[in-house]
Structure 1
Amino acid sequence: MTGVAGTVLTFTPNPALDETYPVPALVPGSTHRVPPPHTRAGGKGLNTARVVHQLGHSALAVTSAGGPTGAAFTAELTGSGVPHALLEVSAPTRRSMAFVDAGTGLTSIFNETGVPLRAGDWDELFALVEQALPHAACVVGAGSLPPEAPPDLFARLVRLSAAAGLPCIIDTSGPGLLEAAAAGADVLKPNREELLEATGCDDVTRGADMLISAGARQVLVSSGADGMSLFSADAPGTILTATLGRTLSGNPTGAGDAAVAAVAVLLASGDRDPYRLLRTATAWSAAAVLMPAAGEISPRHTQFAKEVRIQRDGRVPSSAREETV
């Protein structure tokens, strides 16, 4: 992978204090005794920035923090060494709780929706983004929106990035995905369920084509253990599908965020080769599953990159499940 020309700038509008609990067995309706959780500052954009930073590339995470949860969020993020620009807000930072069942290998996630920010907070957050743009080589907007957030928030980020001549990746769901497509996002990274829900389609190919027709340049759709599919405006009618060829046991919470990190690093280095993009995203996503919490990947990502199989015009998996935050 060639050198990154500048910083991968991530924007997380709905950050969370992630708490991951290992449990021997998760039994609905019963009482569980668990050890203290593995706690870290999270949210999809934060997780992406962590992976970029872990692998030695320049990253800057822009987000907000507030209340007692926000204090813990800030302390952990500062201690992590991940470069960041935080806006202190009055709205308390939400929590996300993941319970990893050691017996089944399945992870159950409970995400708080978040608390509305003041209208002025959004302007201040975008001011932080604008201050960082001169040093950026790629911009990432990722995660859900808190209640009452402007619906065109990610579209605004896409337009701001384009005005600065920078590629922009958006990883979100719902109307924000459609808004980002219409704004001309360079890459959209929904998972299968998010794509179908946002577009109202019952088929991944039709849903991805809808986003490209709306204005997106590329759509990278993750389908959990079934791999990833890449659709591009530069190659209409062509589907690239990548799989690792085997199922990994672990925590899939940050798999999609690691995929976004891979795409961001490549775009920041000026590499837009679709096969390399898809191969690296699939390998980093798989490597994230092996880690106990979101925001880091296993060194085995280099091995996985060699194992990834890419099929041109491959069939998109008909069903899959992936956890997101």
Structure 2
Amino acid sequence: MILTVTLNAALDVTYEVPGVAWDGVNRVSGVHRRAGGKGVNVARVLTAFGQDVLVTGLAGGPTGQAVEADLEAAGLPHALVRIAGDSRTTLVVSDPGTATLFNEPGPVVTPEEFARLVRHFTVLLDSAEAVVLSGSLPRGVPLDAYATLAAIAAERGVPAIVDADGEPLRHAPGGRPSIVKPNAEELARAVPGGGPEEGAQALRGRGAEAVVVSMGAEGLLAVTPEGTFRARMPYKVEGNPTGAGDSLVAGLALGLVRRSPWPERLSRAAALGAAAVAAPVAGDFDRQVYDDIRPQIVID
């Protein structure tokens, strides 16, 4: 089982529009509402590959109840920790070729609620082959939360992947995760100066076993104990990039539990990221695009 952790769970709302008039009236051609947050999106992709998953994290209030109801409707096993605050809603406005994301900050989490999450997480690790720690942190959660959780997993021999930004990303390597997965902009903020490879090496120097940097249509850079790899994409996929990083992380998680060689891990992850761009909603991916693009990805 792969355990995914979403500390800032959300109800994701996606509006599809033929073209946005930001100073006028817009008619929405399609609406999607579903449980979200990066770990939930990862779990959806893993389930599509037949992988056993368990979704955990923090959820509360009416929005948290809606998140739980959607997880149940989707057949995604979950063990969320209830909190007093109301979970957030996110909004994506998607028109052809672009997507604009509005993220609410999320609820305020008390120290007692976070301590309960840590205890709960520790118990769930007994059945986990790998853990994914991803997404923003709600207010009140310590900025080193992912480092704390990754360290607990490492002590129990469970490999962890961290996908975060800002201070949570800067702290994450201290927990000795198996993989840290920033995109190029997140990496530049965490390690100012130098290029992606230098930044990735710096995060490895702080404790991460491997660092995989997503670079959109330019593919992936992976700095690992077995060397440095580049995954080069054969063409650019147009669409909604929201959730592409989550699909990519799902591919890396599959590689961890299947003990795949790095070139295989990276080709699967890069193909899933591209295929997610072709899907209208985060957590989905276009299987035809995945099957077409994966064999064409070049690993150096």
TM-score interval for Structure 1 and Structure 2 normalised by the shorter chain: over 0.9
Look up the match of 2:294. Answer: 305
Indicate which of 278, 285, 290 corresponds to 2:266: 278
- Distance in 2, Cα, partners of 1:299 & 1:137: 25
Superposition deviation, residue 202 in structure 1: 4.5
What is the identity, as a one-letter code, of the residue corresponding to 1:194?
E
Superposition deviation, residue 116 in structure 1: 1.4
Are the equivalent residues in 2 in contact too, given 1:13–1:145 (CA < 8 A)?
yes
User: SS of the counterpart of 2:67?
Assistant: helix
- Distance in 1, Cα, partners of 2:194 & 2:282: 29
Superposition deviation, residue 151 in structure 1: 1.5
- Distance in 2, Cα, partners of 1:26 & 1:226: 28
Tell me the alpha carbon deviations over residues 112-133 of structure 1, each in whole angstroms, 9 at most, x when there is no partner: 1112111111122222222221
Look up the match of 2:123. Answer: 131
Matched, 1:66 2:55: no
User: SS of the counterpart of 2:51?
Assistant: coil
Look up the match of 1:176. Answer: 168
Are the equivalent residues in 2 in contact too, given 1:212–1:233 (CA < 8 A)?
no
More deviation, 105-114/193-202: 193-202
Look up the match of 2:23. Answer: 29
Indicate which of 37, 43, 46 corresponds to 1:52: 46
- Distance in 1, Cα, partners of 2:22 & 2:157: 50
Indicate which of 253, 262, 265 corresponds to 1:264: 253
- Distance in 2, Cα, partners of 1:11 & 1:171: 11
Are the equivalent residues in 2 in contact too, given 1:217–1:234 (CA < 8 A)?
no
Indicate which of 91, 100, 120 corresponds to 2:112: 120
Matched, 1:242 2:222: no
- Distance in 1, Cα, partners of 2:294 & 2:108: 41
What is the identity, as a one-letter code, of the residue corresponding to 1:174?
G
Look up the match of 1:322. Answer: none
- Distance in 2, Cα, partners of 1:131 & 1:79: 25
Between the aligned residues of both structures, percent identity stands at 37
- Distance in 2, Cα, partners of 1:50 & 1:120: 29
Matched, 1:162 2:154: yes
Superposition deviation, residue 18 in structure 1: 0.5
TM-score, length-normalised on structure 2? 0.96
Superposition deviation, residue 252 in structure 1: 1.0
- Distance in 1, Cα, partners of 2:92 & 2:246: 16
Look up the match of 2:183. Answer: 191
Superposition deviation, residue 302 in structure 1: 2.9
Superposition deviation, residue 50 in structure 1: 0.9
Look up the match of 1:321. Answer: none
- Distance in 2, Cα, partners of 1:117 & 1:178: 21
User: SS of the counterpart of 1:148?
Assistant: coil
Superposition deviation, residue 234 in structure 1: 3.9
Count of aligned pairs: 299
Q: CA RMSD in A?
A: 1.4
Superposition deviation, residue 12 in structure 1: 0.8
Segments of structure 1 that go 5 or more residues without pairing to the other structure are 1-6, 312-325
User: SS of the counterpart of 1:297?
Assistant: coil
Superposition deviation, residue 35 in structure 1: 4.6
Shift of the 36–88 alpha-carbon distance from structure 1 to 2, 3 Å rule, reads farther
Are the equivalent residues in 2 in contact too, given 1:10–1:46 (CA < 8 A)?
yes
More deviation, 138-147/299-308: 299-308
What is the identity, as a one-letter code, of the residue corresponding to 1:61?
V
Look up the match of 1:3. Answer: none
Superposition deviation, residue 243 in structure 1: 2.3
Are the equivalent residues in 1 in contact too, given 2:110–2:140 (CA < 8 A)?
no
TM-score, length-normalised on structure 1? 0.89
Superposition deviation, residue 186 in structure 1: 0.8
User: SS of the counterpart of 2:188?
Assistant: helix
